[in-house]
Amino acid sequence: MSSNVKADYSTVSAIAKFIRARTSIKPEVGIICGSGLGKLADSVKNPVVIKYEEIPNFPRVTVDGHQGNLVFGTIGTKNVVMMQGRFHMYEGYSRHEVALPIRLMKLLGVTTLLVSNAAGGLNANYKLGDLVIIKDHISFPGLSLNNVLVGANDADFGVRFIATSDAYSTDLRQLALSIAKEQNVADIVHQGVYVHVGGPNYESPAECKMLRMLGADVVGMSTVPEVLIARHCDLKVFAVSLVTNISILNEESKEKANHEEVLSTAAIRTITLQKIFEEMIKRM
């Protein structure tokens, strides 16, 4: 955690070289598994698993429910690399450590990034276990200089000022929606706005009410930094939240958000999400 490693071109190139010596698989799709969603890796055929701890200058995981592996292999006819376990800023990782795996994917040949996360449901129409395709985001850390792109711009990866109006590919969102219909799960799939908060505490009822008023449908502590890094280096992005808990807007409620509920709900829906991802990858 919080090392002096920089996610600059020469560091990331050296890691890419290490990976290429371990596997000849050249991935075109990158996948990041959210809390409790590591089983998505079961859909990867002929997997080559490289532990984070084996990779020089790669961060290590600290959260339960996150394994620490890069899984290379195929889904359908495409080569993929999956991050089983991700790095959140609240764990104390630097913005370089959060950026590094995404830039590594870029240098390995990835052109499309699929991201999943566990999130609290703010929209009253959402139920536990629903999937929310992210169409836009609000980032509290991002708006307040805790932005993963702060610092000298690395022009080898992208430009200084990036647009975020097109962050979440319209084509991929449409594709996911049509697949959800075909797979008869359209009733649990929505499109919504993800609000990124710093964490690590779950939000208070007053905070949840505020986030809802601002137009957010789901709330979580991840994804946006990775999406910003991906968009900076011109990866196409699709992101989806799994509603693992319903945000509590009432101060008198006896319910409490907890990590165990997040993990158990994630486990129930892993297969549904896996099937959607598999079909998306086949048709991309």
Residues designated as active site? 35, 66, 88, 90-91, 118, 221-222, 245, 259
Minimum CB separation from ligand HPA for residue 56, in Å? 31
Minimum CB separation from ligand HPA for residue 280, in Å? 23
261 is annotated as contributing to ligand binding: no
204 is annotated as contributing to ligand binding: no
Residue pointed to by tokens 């996610």: 7
Minimum CB separation from ligand HPA for residue 156, in Å? 33
Nearer to ligand HPA, 247 or 270 (CB): 247
In sequence order, which residues have a C-beta less than 8 Å from that of residue 165 and are 6 or more positions away? Answer: none
In sequence order, which residues have a C-beta less than 8 Å from that of residue 155 and are 6 or more positions away? Answer: none
Nearer to ligand HPA, 110 or 216 (CB): 216
Nearer to ligand HPA, 89 or 118 (CB): 118
In sequence order, which residues have a C-beta less than 8 Å from that of residue 7 and are 6 or more positions away? Answer: 95, 96, 97, 99, 100, 103, 154, 229
Q: Count Cα neighbours of 96 within 13 Å in the Cβ-side half-sphere.
A: 17
Minimum CB separation from ligand HPA for residue 277, in Å? 19
10 is annotated as contributing to ligand binding: no
User: What would the two tokens of residue 236 be?
Assistant: 């196409």
Residue pointed to by tokens 């208070």: 204
203 is annotated as contributing to ligand binding: yes
Q: Where are the beta strands (DSSP E) in the chain?
A: 29-33, 45-51, 69-75, 78-84, 112-121, 131-139, 189-196, 218-220, 236-246
Residue with the shortest CB distance to ligand HPA: 120
Distance CA 114, CA 236 (A): 9
35 is annotated as contributing to ligand binding: yes
Residue pointed to by tokens 């101060």: 251
User: Which residues of the chain form contacts with ligand HPA (CB under 6 A)?
Assistant: 118-120, 202-203, 219-221, 244-245, 247, 257, 262
**Position 60, amino acid:** R
Nearer to ligand HPA, 142 or 220 (CB): 220
Q: Which amino acids are annotated as binding site, given as ranges?
A: 35, 66, 86-88, 118, 203, 222, 245
Query: Which residue ranges are tagged as binding site for phosphate?
Result: 35, 66, 86-88, 118, 222
Q: Annotated binding site for a purine D-ribonucleoside: which residue ranges?
A: 203, 245
